[in-house]
């Protein structure tokens, strides 16, 4: 009889222990589950940010690609024009040498215009005659240097084209620098590292959650076995009145022990004690 009661107490204590552990592990399990979910949400938010950032970077990358293409185009034009102007300058030197020109044809034309204006206002016949002779000579030289004049004009035009192409290339270069100087790439790397770190932490949290879940399941399985054992013992107690009395007396003592503990807490806090409190405190050692 006593051994059955001792077995009952042993099972009862084990059930209390298992229930306490089950509650403790359940709290831990829920904590790690919530932590895993919170990390999952944070990762999703960061992935959304990095996607938006990547779209912006892709757009800028396309813009930069187009700008670089235009820059290459104008830089290429500059190189071609420089080769052409070198060739024309060579032709210009040859033309000037062939026609024994010391000044450019445009200067000759300018001189002709000046002399023609003088002729219009000159009153002296002799002076007018001399001016006309000089104009005639200059016109002959000018006509002979038509080829050289053409080369000079082409040189000037090419020079303008080179300047314009260089200006355009510089403008595209400035635009490229403006677009690429932002910190989007640095932000992209930072978000990527952050996501990687959070995924690792999330995986660790998930593993701990699984461990706690398995432990909780294991304890509950044992608790189920112990409860079944207690059920069997209670059946025996119901058949044996003496065992029932022992079980009831044990329950009463447990209740009085808890009440005595409550009274001790009241005494510590200097609270007023009731008659029931005093009786419970006196019976704590019974």
Q: Which residues in 108-216 belong to E strands, given as ranges?
A: none
Contact 47, 195 (CB under 8 A): yes
Burial class (CB in 10 A: 0-12, 13-18, 19+), 165: buried
CA distance 112 to 108: 6
CA distance 76 to 83: 11
- The DSSP letter of residue 269 is T
Contact 5, 246 (CB under 8 A): yes
Which conformational region is residue 137 in: left (phi greater than 0), alpha (psi within -120 to 50 degrees), or beta?
Answer: alpha
pLDDT for residue 121: 80
- Residue-by-residue pLDDT tens, the chain, 286 positions: 456 667 777 888 888 898 999 999 999 999 999 999 999 999 999 998 888 887 777 777 777 677 777 777 777 877 877 777 677 666 666 655 655 555 566 777 788 888 888 888 877 778 878 888 888 887 877 776 666 666 666 667 777 777 777 787 787 777 767 666 666 767 777 888 999 999 999 999 999 999 999 999 999 999 999 888 888 877 776 665 565 666 666 766 776 676 667 767 767 777 666 666 566 555 555 5
pLDDT for residue 263: 62
């Amino acid at each position: 009889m006593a051994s059955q009661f001792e077995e009952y107490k042993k099972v009862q204590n084990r059930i209390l222990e298992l229930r306490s552990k089950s509650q403790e592990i359940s709290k831990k399990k829920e904590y790690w589950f919530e932590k895993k979910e919170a990390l999952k949400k944070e990762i999703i938010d960061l992935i959304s940010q990095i996607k938006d950032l990547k779209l912006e970077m892709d757009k800028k990358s396309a813009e930069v690609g187009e700008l670089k293409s235009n820059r290459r185009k104008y830089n290429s034009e500059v190189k071609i024009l420089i080769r052409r102007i070198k060739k024309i300058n060579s032709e210009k030197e040859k033309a000037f040498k062939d026609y024994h020109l010391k000044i450019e044809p445009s200067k000759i034309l300018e001189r002709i215009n000046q002399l023609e204006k003088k002729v219009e206002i000159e009153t002296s016949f002799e002076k007018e005659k001399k001016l006309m002779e000089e104009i005639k000579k200059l016109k002959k030289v000018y006509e002979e240097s038509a080829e050289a004049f053409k080369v000079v004009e082409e040189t000037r035009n090419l020079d303008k084209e080179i300047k314009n192409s260089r200006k355009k290339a510089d403008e595209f270069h400035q635009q490229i620098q403006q677009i690429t100087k932002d910190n989007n790439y640095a932000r992209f790397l930072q978000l990527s590292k952050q996501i990687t770190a959070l995924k690792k932490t999330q995986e660790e949290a998930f593993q701990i959650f699984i461990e706690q879940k398995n432990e909780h399941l294991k304890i509950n399985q044992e608790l189920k076995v112990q409860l079944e054992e207690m059920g069997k013992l209670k059946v025996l107690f119901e058949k044996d009145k003496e065992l029932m009395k022992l079980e009831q007396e044990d329950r009463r003592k447990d209740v009085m022990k808890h009440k005595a503990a409550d009274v001790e807490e009241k005494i510590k806090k200097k609270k007023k004690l009731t008659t029931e409190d005093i009786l419970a405190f006196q019976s704590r050692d019974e």
